[in-house]
Amino acid sequence: DAGVIQSPRHEVTEMGQEVTLRCKPISGHDYLFWYRQTMMRGLELLIYFNNNVPIDDSGMPEDRFSAKMPNASFSTLKIQPSEPRDSAVYFCASSLGVTSYEQYFGPGTRLTVT
């Protein structure tokens, strides 16, 4: 398996623009997680899904952020409109679930909002 795949790897956009980050989890994994990492706030969980259903989105900063998982092999994190304070590295991770809680992280998307 290729591991967790994220795209794009880098994104530079202007304030006010819509940003869509994409993730393909490892095949067969039941859980998918979206994290944001900054120097100031560390690694924050934004939202996670179990079998494509959102379980906890309490980490989503505000209504500008939304996430979907239309099927077991694809998820998106959308920011609309983007702001400079959204600049961060966004990681997607997946795990098997009860049999193994190990989370496999994707390479991350470095987002810069100017």
**Footprint of another protein (CB under 8 A):** 30-31, 33, 35, 42-43, 45, 48, 50, 55-56, 91, 95, 97-98, 101-103, 105-108
Identity of the amino acid at 78: K
Report d(CA 93, CA 4) in Å as an integer.
7
Beta strands in the chain (DSSP E): 5-7, 10-13, 19-24, 31-38, 42-50, 53-56, 65-71, 74-79, 88-95, 104-105, 109-113
Contact 19, 11 (CB under 8 A): yes
Output the smallest distance, CB 15 to another protein, in A.
Answer: 25
Output the smallest distance, CB 16 to another protein, in A.
Answer: 29
Output the smallest distance, CB 77 to another protein, in A.
Answer: 16
Cβ closer to another protein: 45 or 81?
A: 45
Cβ closer to another protein: 64 or 110?
A: 110
Cβ closer to another protein: 48 or 65?
A: 48
Output the smallest distance, CB 84 to another protein, in A.
Answer: 22
Report d(CA 5, CA 3) in Å as an integer.
6
